Amino acid sequence: MSRRIRNSANHRRRPSPAAVEPTAGLRPVPPIIEPPQPSDRPSRSPVVPWESTPVDSWAMEARMLRWLTFLWLGLGLAVLFSASYAIADADFGNGLYYMQRQIFFGVLGLLGFSLLVSTPLRFVLGVADWLMLICLGLILLTLLPGFGTTVNGASRWLAIGPLPILQPSELIKPFLVLQGARIFGRWDRLSWNVRLTWLGIFGLLLASILLQPNLSTTALCGMLLWLMALAAGLPWRYLGGTAIAGMGAAILSVSLRDYQRDRIISFLDPWADPAQNGYQLIQSLLAVGSGGLTGKGFGLSQQKLFYLPIHYTDFIFAVYAEEFGFLGGLLLLLLLGAFAVLGLRVALKAKSPIHKLVAIGVVVLLVGQSLLNIGVATGALPTTGLPFPFFSYGGSSIIASLVSAALLVRVARESSSATVVSFARERGFGGDRRSSPPAPPKRPRKSLGSKSL
């Protein structure tokens, strides 16, 4: 009996032929070793917080905003070359005088652009208050005799020693966006002491710009802060009170300064005084109207030949419209619209309220200021001294515009965590496509025919 039990146990331990034969013909599967893949995480220095992520890995909005900025800048330089050559040759004996200075400041702005798009926004926000206060101090210096440089009755420029003339009211605009986003984005978490302190600083800033005098920039900065506060969801009683105070300050300024009142009167009827107050607007309208459908051609504007005053700064759009016509103006509006749509899309995708307000502020600053400039040149708004971003001559303006655009690109980079995947890699058309390892071979089932009971 025990012998039969031992034989039965030995028989159960012996593998059946059906279980051995299928595995004997299998070849060993080599281990799957994937080639090293480039890391999607940016490389950072342990000391400097800059990133060196390739542009191809940026979000779609960031890449498109970057190229639109470069397109806007290149188009503006071309228009400035055409608008400023004749007047520069007459005044300085060098037709490229304004163009050379604009390129110099543009290079400085591009260096700042490259730096900001590679710097995490939290580091820029951390120093925004100090940068804004420094620019505010420079604005106050323009009001002191001996420091401010007066041009056309306004002390808006500052020249210190051999340094070129700068306009602090232009340089402060991107930092005003950053600090406004910091305050309004955290409004509910701030104490009333902090709120009133920064509201007082904003009021001091607007008052100092108004005293230069510079009503147009004051109005732009005031509307910028107001719209950012509106986007942040501040109570309507605060917004209504500040709006009433702003309109009261504008009315008081116009009533005290004759030239501002004359500009409004000439805007309503420029033909009432065509040789004095209405002259500039009439010449601008002649330039825009003579452009026709397709324009006179690049470099062929006639109004820039000493007819239209300051045609290379505040009224440069009139030269553009005369040379490129209605279709050229329409394409420029499409460029502004694409920039605005992408900027608002970035704001909607922003992960924090502060980032959202930064994106909204930059769109209002660049696109809104451009539309205001176009409205002045076409007679839809009273004559003001607002430059056209990337178009008008001015070192401070082009630096501030590039810095503002860089902030929007940076917000776009930080607002999207999408990974860019090429079409070939997604479809498997070659390349080092990441694929899951193949499933291991199925283990054969044991045969039940030789099992003993």
Structure tokens at 20: 């051995």
Look at residue 408 and tell me if it is in a domain: yes
Structure tokens at 49: 């917080």
Look at residue 426 and tell me if it is in a domain: no
Task: Flag whether the pTM goes above 0.85.
Answer: no
Q: What is the CA radius of gyration of the chain?
A: 33
Look at residue 359 and tell me if it is in a domain: yes
Identify the pLDDT of residue 28. 56
Identify the pLDDT of residue 56. 84
CA distance 82 to 138: 33
Look at residue 101 and tell me if it is in a domain: yes
Is 413:117 a contact under the CB 8 Å cutoff? Answer: yes
Look at residue 128 and tell me if it is in a domain: yes
H or E stretch including 221?
helix 215-232
Task: For 346-384, give the DSSP string.
Answer: HHHH-SSHHHHHHHHHHHIIIIIHHHHHHHHHTTSS---
Identify the pLDDT of residue 255. 84
CA distance 389 to 76: 8
Tell me which residue range forms the domain holding 363: 67-418
Task: Provide the domain count of the chain.
Answer: 1
- The residues of the chain scoring below 70 in pLDDT are 1-52, 152-153, 160-164, 417-453
Look at residue 439 and tell me if it is in a domain: no
Look at residue 5 and tell me if it is in a domain: no
Identify the pLDDT of residue 227. 96
Nearest to 107 by CA among 306, 368, 399, 303: 399
Identify the pLDDT of residue 416. 72
Is 355:414 a contact under the CB 8 Å cutoff? Answer: yes
Look at residue 31 and tell me if it is in a domain: no
